[in-house]
Amino acid sequence: METKSVADSSPAIEVTNACHATSLDAGIDGDMPVKYTVSVRALWEFSAKRGNLDVRFTPAPSAEEGIVGHKTVTSRRPSQYQSEMSLTGEYKHLLVRGRADGFDPVLNQLEEIKTFRGELGMMPDNHRQLHWAQVRIYGWLLCRKLGLPRIGLALVYFDIVSKKEVVLNETQEAGALKAYFDDQCERFLNCAEQELIHGAGRNEALIHLTFPHGSFRTGQRQLAEAVYKAAVLGRCLIAQAPTGIGKTIGTLFPLLKAWPGQKLDKIFFLTAKTSGRKLALDALMLIRRAQPSLPLRVLELVARDKACEHPDKACHGASCPLANGFYDRLPQARSAALALAGADVLDKDALRGLAHEHRVCPYYLSQDLIQWSDVIVGDYNHYFDLGAVLYGLTVANQWTVDVLVDEAHNLIGRARKMYTAELDQSHFQSARRSAPGQLGKVLARLDHSWNAFSKESAEAYRVSAVPDSFLAALRQAINAITKYLTENPNGIDGELPRFYFDSLRFTGICETFDEHSLFDVTANVRNKKASGVKKQTSRTRSVCVVLYLRNVIPAPLIARRFAVARSTVLFSATLSPYRFYSDMVGLPQNTGWVDVESPFKPEQLLVKVVSNISTRYRYREASISPIVDLISRQYLQKPGNYLAFFSRFDYLQRVTRQFRSSHPSISISEQRRGMDEIEQDVFLARFPPTSRGIGFAVLGGSFAEGIDLPGSRLSGAFIATLGLPQVNRVNEQLKLRMDTMRNAGYDYTYFFPGIQKVVQAAGRVIRTQSDRGIIYLIDDRFTQPDVRRLLPRWWKTERFQGA
């Protein structure tokens, strides 16, 4: 078989290669029957899940707690104990594989270890039955492997708080286990055969897939070839590619072409914003329409609060009607979804309709459909977060996946948020007031720890280490609330649930705490009424502290996700310098880099560097009048739609105020803090092709990236400042840490993120090859070589001193 490399010949992606025969290509009617591979986990989940959806016995221990719990149990076992045994077995067209937790050959006992928190007795019976199903399947696979006539099976429940084990045992004959295994496989078989047919048809169609637009745009081919090559080589890629070349389809198409040859199981398309998901779904629909015979199942994932039909209810059968009997109705809902997936993408609306028809929860239906989908379009956190579902399933099922990360310049900031936790003392105090009496003692102990903490925090801000005594008190409080919650599932309200989940997150993040993160404490001084005083005659001061576990460099945590995927492609219009992004997110050494040629010509864009204005903090006041003059002069010279960007809201407001009073006849719109989606739409609606006016916005905000105003909808942009993040106590601590770890404190904290925001904002002006526009870069530092090196190569800048 020949695999044609993209590097060998540029049109390789369009060529139909007959070389990509996979095990599925023979089809199930071929001479050599192919196998459908299923993990033990997927098998028992499919065949043994019955009854109600019930996530009450949660929150389960975090992944890190689970790992530590497993290690604790296995460390207690004798030397002959064998951990993590890989096991496989076959049944007709099925290949079942998985990893059993441990086996003691002397006792002839196979163990499945489950970590838990709370009351084991509250675990729903169907959960326990699932655990037995799992250990029995492993039991047969081991009997088969070692030729054992019978075996002891044990479910080991390990309480991560008390560190105690509860062990449930049974002994099974090999024959009985085989019958059980065969029965579970038989239930899955029909589905497996359909999956084999689906996979074979999909792969065959992908081999013949042609580019839906007929030809590539300038730069799009270069991008597509680099992505294809990365997929074939099984490595990561950073792709900087300008706006307007069609990056979404330019990355999806080559991965789909690479699919059969690389025997992929899934592609994950991850976005930072909802608008990115929509573009990906549209691109996939376009590919499907161009090749109607392509049976590609496309699923959109949304957050639970966006999909939930009963936000006032809890996710268990006694509370939510869509959880009641969920697993009994799931097979029909799943079949209907897979039938629909043949004609349409399974986006949020489609899933909602299906869920309504079959009376199941749309969110948990979408979670089930991950297993059966080919391309999954979701948010970054579906793969990169600590408890990310796509990452977890990929590891558990040993899937071969390729990952696309759209607008990847956002990944550093988003990942930092995912690995950061905060705990606010004022939230704790509110929670304590609304807590039931039986939690009083444990919360009083935690209060004592908080107070000791706040007394120490005479300074408004300090970097510290998490005190062990505080963590111990917090963990005790969590355990007490968990116990209360399992006994009284509907019994807590007010601020307590919020504090509880914040605390769980805080202790979870604490487990990953290392030099990549900071622990800092901010003290907020508040004046409050003195107690017992009816009229407000006196006030006392109270100090509430906010604790932060603040991720600085996400690389060590994200790197694990890159290692699990076969190939990951990070793409965006602004990923310079490459070293900064790859270093911060922890891409492997052999990651490829492509800087895609721009389709735009320098003649399309005038870039004027206004070098006689300084926007440094001490000169801001003095810069306002010249900036107002500059904007108005350009507008009067060439009326049209313009955006003016500023580093901060207060700067924006001062310029806007002066502009409004100096030029009342010019229409303006102003970005405000915390605008919701409707307000943002209203702001953008003021930029039709026929209108004229100035929009004032902040760099890095909603109107500085991810918006499309082609043609005369936007004639130009003014960018005041280098976009450098504010110098404050937190950023100075980040800089110190970045200096220690990367020897690049200023660049990594201020300079590179700042210029990236400038280039993103400027990228709003030229969106198509017929656009024309102007950009004013307002600050003398834009003339410096270090800054110019980070600007797009196709820009031709000229100095402008007319301000």
Query: Is 697 within 8 Å of 721 (Cβ atoms)?
Result: no
* 77 makes contact with ligand SF4 (CB under 6 A): no
Query: Is 158 within 8 Å of 66 (Cβ atoms)?
Result: no
* 323 makes contact with ligand SF4 (CB under 6 A): yes
- If one counts every other C-beta atom within 10 angstroms of the C-beta of residue 627, the result is 25
Segment near ligand SF4 (CB under 6 A), from 306-314, 582-590, 609-617, 667-675?
306-314
Segment near ligand SF4 (CB under 6 A), from 209-217, 309-317, 432-440, 660-668?
309-317
* 57 makes contact with ligand SF4 (CB under 6 A): no
Using a 10 angstrom Cβ sphere, with 0-12 exposed, 13-18 middle and 19 or more buried, the burial of residue 402 is: buried
- HEC readout, 754-791: HHHHHHHHHCCCCCCCCCCEEEEEECHHHHCHHHHCCC
How many distinct helices (H) and strands (E) make up the chain? 27, 24
Comparison of 307 and 720: residue with beta carbon closer to ligand SF4: 307
Comparison of 311 and 437: residue with beta carbon closer to ligand SF4: 311
Distance of closest approach, residue 490 Cβ to ligand SF4, in angstroms: 12
Using a 10 angstrom Cβ sphere, with 0-12 exposed, 13-18 middle and 19 or more buried, the burial of residue 690 is: exposed
Comparison of 53 and 485: residue with beta carbon closer to ligand SF4: 53
* 365 makes contact with ligand SF4 (CB under 6 A): no
Comparison of 361 and 553: residue with beta carbon closer to ligand SF4: 361
Query: Is 407 within 8 Å of 380 (Cβ atoms)?
Result: no
Distances (CA, A) of 83 to 105, 142, 359: 11, 13, 42
Distance of closest approach, residue 57 Cβ to ligand SF4, in angstroms: 14
Which of 665, 678, 511 shows the shortest CA–CA distance to 65? 511
* 338 makes contact with ligand SF4 (CB under 6 A): no
Q: Which of 273, 313, 352, 660 binds ligand SF4 (CB under 6 A)?
A: 313
**Upstream peptide bond of 59 is cis (omega within 30 degrees of 0):** yes
* 719 makes contact with ligand SF4 (CB under 6 A): no
Give the interface size with ligand SF4 as a residue count (CB under 6 A): 13
Distance of closest approach, residue 55 Cβ to ligand SF4, in angstroms: 8
Comparison of 367 and 542: residue with beta carbon closer to ligand SF4: 367
Comparison of 323 and 474: residue with beta carbon closer to ligand SF4: 323
Query: Is 249 within 8 Å of 283 (Cβ atoms)?
Result: yes
Q: Would you state the structure tokens that stand for residue 409, as one six-digit string?
A: 């310049």
Distance of closest approach, residue 258 Cβ to ligand SF4, in angstroms: 36
Distance of closest approach, residue 61 Cβ to ligand SF4, in angstroms: 21
> Which residues, 6+ apart, have CB-to-CB distance to 92 below 8 Å?
185, 189
Comparison of 64 and 309: residue with beta carbon closer to ligand SF4: 309
* 391 makes contact with ligand SF4 (CB under 6 A): no
Query: Is 274 within 8 Å of 188 (Cβ atoms)?
Result: no
Distance of closest approach, residue 321 Cβ to ligand SF4, in angstroms: 8
Distance of closest approach, residue 356 Cβ to ligand SF4, in angstroms: 11
Query: Is 796 within 8 Å of 608 (Cβ atoms)?
Result: no
Comparison of 36 and 363: residue with beta carbon closer to ligand SF4: 363
Q: Which of 113, 302, 361, 775 binds ligand SF4 (CB under 6 A)?
A: 361
Query: Is 182 within 8 Å of 174 (Cβ atoms)?
Result: no
Comparison of 308 and 473: residue with beta carbon closer to ligand SF4: 308
* 663 makes contact with ligand SF4 (CB under 6 A): no
Phi, psi of 89 (to 5 degrees): -160, 160
Backbone dihedral region for residue 492 (phi beyond 0: left; psi -120 to 50: alpha; all else: beta): beta
- If one counts every other C-beta atom within 10 angstroms of the C-beta of residue 785, the result is 6
* 304 makes contact with ligand SF4 (CB under 6 A): yes
Comparison of 249 and 315: residue with beta carbon closer to ligand SF4: 315
Comparison of 327 and 506: residue with beta carbon closer to ligand SF4: 327
Q: Would you state the structure tokens that stand for residue 484, as one six-digit string?
A: 């209360």
* 363 makes contact with ligand SF4 (CB under 6 A): yes
Q: Which of 40, 322, 613, 724 binds ligand SF4 (CB under 6 A)?
A: 322
- Draw the binding track, 34-53, toward ligand SF4 (x: CB under 6 A; -: no contact): -------------------x
* 388 makes contact with ligand SF4 (CB under 6 A): no
* 354 makes contact with ligand SF4 (CB under 6 A): no
Phi, psi of 18 (to 5 degrees): -85, 10
Q: Helices 220-233 and 247-262, interaxial angle, to 10°? A: 30
* 320 makes contact with ligand SF4 (CB under 6 A): yes
- HEC readout, 360-393: CCHHHHHHHHHHHCCEEEEECHHHHCCCCHHHHH
* 553 makes contact with ligand SF4 (CB under 6 A): no
Q: How many Å apart are CA 588 and CA 594, to the nearest integer? A: 15
Distance of closest approach, residue 298 Cβ to ligand SF4, in angstroms: 22
Q: Would you state the structure tokens that stand for residue 691, as one six-digit string?
A: 């209108």
Comparison of 165 and 309: residue with beta carbon closer to ligand SF4: 309
Q: Which of 163, 289, 310, 789 binds ligand SF4 (CB under 6 A)?
A: 310
Distance of closest approach, residue 339 Cβ to ligand SF4, in angstroms: 22
* 306 makes contact with ligand SF4 (CB under 6 A): no
* 526 makes contact with ligand SF4 (CB under 6 A): no
- Contacting positions for ligand SF4 (CB under 6 A): 53, 304, 308-310, 313, 315, 320, 322-323, 361, 363-364
